A and B are shown apart, each in its own frame.
Chain A
Amino acid sequence: MDLVESYRDDLRFLRRPVARSVVLTLVVLLALLPSVAPEHHVYILTVIALTAIGTIGQNFLIGFAGQISFGQAGFLAIGAYAFGHLRILGLPFLPAIVVAGLAAGLAGVAIGFPSLRLKGPYLAIATLGFGVAVYQIFVNWEVLSGGRSGLAITKLEPLFGMSRATTVYYWYLLLLAALTLAAYNVVSSYVGRALVAIRDSEIAAEVNGVNLTRYKLFAFGLSSFYTGIQAGLLGQLLGHLEPQMFTLAESITLFVAVIVGGVASIEGSLLGAAFVVLVPQVFAGSREFVPVVFGATILLILILEPYGFAGRLAKLRLYFAMWPLR
Chain B
Amino acid sequence: MRTAQYVLAGLSAGSLYALVALGIVLIYRATRILNFAHGDVATFGTFVALTLLGERVPFSGALLLSLLAGAVLAVAFYFGVLVTAQRRDANLLGQVILTLGLALILQGVTIAVWGAEPLPFPFPISDTRTFTLGGVVVSHLALATLSVGVVGSVLLYLLVQRTRLGLALRATSENLSAAQTLGLPTRPILALAWGVASALGVLAGVFLAPALLLDPFFMLDPFLKAFAAAVLGGLNSLPGAIVGGLALGVAESLTGAWISIQFKNTLAFVVIIVVLLVRPEGLFGTEFKERV
Contacts and interface: CB of A to CB of B under 8 A. Distances in A.
Interface string B211-232: 0000000001000100110010
A248 B36 CA distance: 12
A288 interface: yes
Given A291-B104, A298-B97, A302-B101, A121 B34 contact: yes
Interface stretch (B42-50, B83-91, B123-131): B83-91
A129 B93 CA distance: 18
B105 A296 contact: yes
Interface stretch (B182-190, B250-258, B270-278): B270-278
Contacts of B246: none
Interface stretch (A79-87, A111-119, A314-322): A111-119
A252 B290 CA distance: 28
B96 A124 contact: yes
Nearest to A141: B262
Contact of A298 (B100, B290, B292): B100
Given A119-B290, A133-B269, A137-B266, A291 B81 contact: no
A302 B101 CA distance: 10
A292 B44 CA distance: 14
A213 B220 CA distance: 34
B101 to A, nearest CB: 4
B28 interface: yes
A130 B272 CA distance: 9
Given A140-B262, A303-B84, A306-B94, A125 B272 contact: yes
A288 B104 contact: no
B263 A136 contact: yes
A286 B228 CA distance: 34
A299 B98 contact: yes
Given A121-B34, A133-B270, A296-B101, A289 B90 contact: no
A28 to B, nearest CB: 37
Give the size category of A's interface with B. 35 or more
Contacts of B104: 252, 256, 291-292, 294-295, 298
Nearest to A296: B105
A75 interface: no
A46 B109 CA distance: 30
Nearest to B272: A129
B265 interface: yes
Interface in A256-313: 256, 259, 286-299, 302-303, 306
Interface in A142-177: none
Given A124-B34, A133-B273, A259 B227 contact: no
B280 A288 contact: no
A136 B268 CA distance: 11
A248 B220 contact: yes
B107 A130 contact: no
B34 A125 contact: yes
B92 interface: yes
Given A292-B105, A306-B90, A306-B94, A255 B112 contact: no
A259 B95 CA distance: 13
A292 B280 contact: no
A68 interface: yes
A296 to B, nearest CB: 6
A122 interface: yes
A291 B107 CA distance: 7
Interface string A240-255: 0000000010001001
Contact of A68 (B85, B93, B262): B93
B133 to A, nearest CB: 34
Nearest to B282: A122
A290 to B, nearest CB: 7
Given A128-B227, A133-B270, A122 B111 contact: no
A56 interface: no
A98 B84 CA distance: 45
B29 to A, nearest CB: 12
Contact of B101 (A132, A204, A298): A298
A179 interface: no
B235 interface: yes
Contacts of B68: none
Contacts of B227: 125, 128
A302 B100 CA distance: 11
26 contacts: A68-B96, A118-B280, A120-B93, A121-B28, A121-B34, A122-B231, A122-B276, A124-B34, A125-B34, A128-B224, A128-B227, A129-B224, A129-B272, A136-B269, A140-B266, A256-B104, A288-B112, A290-B108, A291-B104, A292-B104, A293-B108, A295-B106, A297-B101, A302-B97, A302-B101, A306-B94
Given A118-B276, A129-B276, 12 more contacts: A114-B273, A114-B276, A124-B34, A124-B96, A248-B220, A288-B116, A292-B109, A295-B107, A298-B101, A299-B105, A302-B90, A302-B94
- List 10 A-B pairs, minimum CB-CB distance, nearest first: A295-B104, A292-B108, A295-B105, A298-B101, A129-B272, A288-B111, A291-B108, A133-B269, A129-B269, A291-B104
